[in-house]
Amino acid sequence: MVIPKKVAGPVQQGKPFLLNLPELYPAGVINGILYGGPGVGKTGTALTARDYEHLRPILVIAFDSIDPTIIKFSNEFVKTLDVIEEMKSRNITISMMMPSLLRELDKKIPFKTVLLDNISKLMNPLIFRDIMAEAEVLAKARGRDHDPDVMEMQDYNRATNRVYGFLERARSNSLKNGYNLILTARERIDYIKTQSYEGDFYYPDLSPELRRLILHEYDFCFHMESGTSLQAVEGSQVKKSISVRYLHTKDKSDRVCKTKIGGLESKIKNPTLDILYQAYLKESNGHG
């Protein structure tokens, strides 16, 4: 077989494959997604990393307008990149920004945890203005209209492919360079009816391709919800209602969950990122 000169590379030059192989990925980092409805504590749980020296400092890459939770939890250990604001101020698109972010994250960065906040927001026309503009040009060339504010299926598929590549590389970079990577996303609810279950079914509000990537490659996919609990008032018999957060770690008939981390309870009250991290370390050290 004759290989064209323009694609001839190291093989034709006699360069060995097995020299200068990269070192094994460092142990001790986790990657996964927390999903749920608004206000259930996804971002807050991820940002509990600020309270643990081995998990901080934290870089928040916010794909939505800055969440009030980020402001509430911000301190000297939390730095935030507002993607929407950067796009506006630099007059760039997310397609231009993602490769640059990946290059910057593909090195030893001064952060121990990176939070990609609300990746569900990535799949909208505002973020992918370039795709929508290209689609409008193509539509006009074909003699039809294209609403610049509404993603058609082909637009959605192109956006999905770009986000897929970004999340795949982001995970690889985190493993190679030794920092935790946490994602948050909104929940989606469908009503389902099967032989064993009928009712609401919860799963991440992402395209099927992105859900498969996270479920197959990331360490965990956990569902969060909020509730209330009664707590005794000190010095009296009165009990007051307080807000609590719950983290679901096991796959059930009513929700999508997945984990490669053993030793976790199926439902954790008021979780912290360190609970997940310590369970991972215990298992990876052979004590699970």
**Run of H or E residues at 58:** strand 58-62
Report the pLDDT value the prediction gives residue 154, as an integer from 0 to 100: 80
Q: How far apart are CA 87 and CA 218, in angstroms?
A: 28
Q: Is residue 4 part of a domain?
A: no
Domain with 201 in it: what CATH number? 3.40.50.300
Q: Is residue 194 part of a domain?
A: yes
Residues ≥6 apart with Cβ < 8 Å to 229? 241, 242, 244, 269
Q: Which residues of the chain have pLDDT under 70?
A: 1-15, 17-27, 125-126, 231-233, 235, 237-239, 285-288
Q: Is residue 286 part of a domain?
A: no
Strand partners, 82: 62
Range of the domain at 233: 25-280
* Tens of pLDDT, residues 143-176: 777 777 777 778 778 888 889 999 999 999 999 9
Q: Is residue 16 part of a domain?
A: no
Report the pLDDT value the prediction gives residue 14, as an integer from 0 to 100: 63
Report the pLDDT value the prediction gives residue 241, as an integer from 0 to 100: 75
The residue with tokens 């719950």 is 246
The amino acid at 72: K
User: Quick one: which of 273, 223, 269, 222 has its CA closest to 244?
Assistant: 269
Q: Is residue 12 part of a domain?
A: no
Token couple for 252: 């059930």
Q: Is residue 5 part of a domain?
A: no
In the chain, how long is the greatest CA-to-CA distance? Answer: 87
Alpha helices in the chain (DSSP H): 42-46, 68-73, 83-90, 94-105, 129-141, 153-177, 208-217, 273-284
Q: Is residue 6 part of a domain?
A: no
Q: Is residue 7 part of a domain?
A: no
* Tens of pLDDT, residues 55-69: 999 999 998 777 788
Token couple for 260: 């490669």
The amino acid at 77: F
Report the pLDDT value the prediction gives residue 150, as an integer from 0 to 100: 72
Domain count, the chain: 1
